[in-house]
A and B are shown apart, each in its own frame.
Chain A
Amino acid sequence: MELSGIDRAAIGANSAPSAQSGNSALAPTAASRRPGARGLQLLSWLAPVVLVAIWEWLAQAGWLSPHILPAPSKVIRTAFKLATTGTLLNDLGVSLLRAAAGFAIGTAVGGGLGILVGFSRIAEAAIDRSVQMIRAIPFLAALPLVIVWLGVGETQKIFLVALGVTFPIYINTVLGIRQVDPKLLELGRVQGLSSLQLIRRIILPGALPSILTGVRYALATAWLALVVAETIGAQAGIGFLAMDAREFLRTDVIVLTIVIYALIGVAADGIARFLERRLLAWHPNYGAAR
């Protein structure tokens, strides 16, 4: 099939006499005019740069009021000033600590319940339906209740992050354990593995891709929870910085905090993907080719 296609193309080229003269020079130019993979990559990065440049130009030209949207250069200068003389780094640290604490608690609770339900039908009957019901609540809807219970201190913020993290971890852990190939479990029995060895050698590695998907999803939720929690009654943190700036109409600081949230979100996702590549090196869909 392929051969006949090539033949036909060759015949077609020969039967067009007008293209004969200098066609050797023509063909490569036509090929280079078509954007390659690298060209497309360049374009994909060029587009956002151009957008920021237009934003900068509009701000410099006075078309954009600094109260609506400050110039990118102004945001960068503000970042530098706050980092050197202000509390930016301290606020960043406070926010990261809250996220980490909430994430750790949520992972422990969600993962623990998930393992329990994944392994035991009795635990599933006892726990799963209740968890699924609570999960149906958008966790941010519980915010007023959480504030009544815990006030607006650190506990409330960490609790909210943990709440957001628990469910994606729980669901993906249960799913991962349930999806382990029963044929491999059977093999484990044939090879004489104890229950503990079965868990360590077959069930947990088999569930890991799903669990890591849960971790990645939970990171996004944790971040969302933190943003919301920090905008209420915080005394420090990135969200506090944003709320404080709002009082003084400091849009440059507000834009800065938004950018910081975005950057940390990207970094967290990068860490999760790094973990996937390292821990799932064996997996054809994740691991780097060897």
Chain B
Amino acid sequence: MNAHVAPLSPASFETGPAVIVSNLVRSYGSRVVIEKLNLRIERGEFVALLGESGCGKTTLLRALAGLDSIQGGRIVAPRRPAVVFQEHRLLPWDSLWRNVSLGLQVPDARERAAEALTEVGLGDRLDDWPRNLSGGQAQRVALARALVQQPELMLLDEPFAALDALTRIRMHELVRELVANHQPGVLLVTHDVDEAIALADRILVMRNGAIAYEHRAARNGSTPISRSELLAELGVNSHSTH
């Protein structure tokens, strides 16, 4: 589909990178949206990508997903990445297990879907319809659909933005757990600074089509990422908040 996405050798799976982006260029006509961007995400690493609207972060995610063509550079990924969008994008005419197993080319698709749905706490709703789900439940099914593909790289495009605050916190817990269990590399595009701090091992701030700031959280949490520093990077002066 995308000529720039080259498969890595299977031997490098276990500890290797989930994706390597080098000198990526993405433009619409003469307008360059992403300019010579480099990015490497390891398996099991959770990267959050912050940035103002229009900074190119969703464009980057779509390029990684193979949804848009790129005009320069290389994206090297071991396998097709899984994507969770802001909207759940469940097929309303298919039951939950059929939705989760969409695109899965295995004979035991139903069992695999059942496992994934159980992991997100909906194991008893295999034959239910999407329209009977709440927003949070639907997004959990979307997560199950991404996980069932056993991705090396999972792309999350503001998947919790449309959820209420409490549901969002529960989803954070769930995602943390799922990522810990499956160890995919994760790129989370978000507007929410606190979400990024809560979930990510590494936080990137994108500006004018390039990565302008990078912060790696210490694994043991000894040096937490400074919220005000991040907000300053995003152009928000926050004297009153802490």
Interface set of A (CB-CB < 8 Å, partner B)? 183-184, 186-193, 197, 201-202, 205-206, 208, 280, 282-284, 290
In the complex, whether B93 has a CB less than 8 A from a CB of chain A is yes
Please determine whether B89 and A183 come into contact, CB atoms closer than 8 angstroms: yes
A283–B92 Cα distance when bound, in Å, is 7
Known: A191-B102, A192-B103. Is A282-B67 also a contact (CB below 8 A)? no
For B132, the chain A residues whose CB sits under 8 A away are 290
Task: Sample 9 A-B pairs with CB under 8 A, ordered by A number.
Answer: A189-B1, A190-B80, A191-B145, A191-B149, A205-B91, A205-B94, A282-B93, A282-B94, A282-B129
Nearest CB in chain B to that of A201: its residue? B102
Distance in angstroms from B26 CB to nearest chain A CB is 17
Say whether A193 contacts B131, CB under 8 Å.
no
Of all chain B residues, the one with the shortest Cβ separation from A186 is B67
Please give, as numbers and ranges, the residues of chain B lying within 8 Å of A205 by CB-CB distance. Answer: 91, 93-94
The residue from B66, B92, B102, B103 contacting A282, defined by CB atoms under 8 A apart: B92
Q: Which listed residue (B94, B102, B129, B130) contacts A193, Cβ 8 A?
A: B102
State in angstroms the CA–CA spacing of A182 and B92 once bound together.
Answer: 14
Residues of B contacting A: mostly: loop
User: What A residues does B149 contact at CB under 8 A?
Assistant: 191-192
Alpha-carbon gap, A283 to B83, bound state (A) = 25
Asked if B82 is at the interface of the complex by the 8 Å CB criterion, the answer is: yes
User: Beta-carbon contacts of B92-107 to A below 8 Å, as 1s and 0s?
Assistant: 1110000000110000
Q: Is the CB of A188 within 8 A of B129?
A: no
Flag if B87 contacts A282 (CB, 8 Å).
Answer: no
Interface assignment of B210: CB less than 8 Å from any CB of chain A: no
Q: Taking CB as reference atom, which chain B residue is nearest A189? A: B67
Query: Is A183 in contact with B129, judged by CB distance below 8 angstroms?
Result: no
Could you tell me the distance between the alpha carbons of A66 and B17 in the complex, rounded to whole angstroms? 91
Could you tell me if B80 and A192 are in contact, using CB atoms closer than 8 angstroms?
A: yes
Q: Given A187-B85, A282-B131, A290-B132, is A193 in contact with B92 using a C-beta cutoff of 8 Å?
A: no
Q: How far is the CB of B91 from chain A (nearest CB, A)?
A: 6
Minimum-distance CB pairs A-B, first 10: A191-B103, A205-B93, A282-B93, A187-B89, A190-B83, A192-B103, A191-B102, A193-B103, A282-B92, A282-B129
- Asked if residues A190 and B82 are in contact (CB atoms below 8 Å), the reply is yes
* Chain A residues within an 8 Å CB radius of B66: 189-190
Is residue B147 within 8 Å, beta carbon to beta carbon, of the partner chain? no
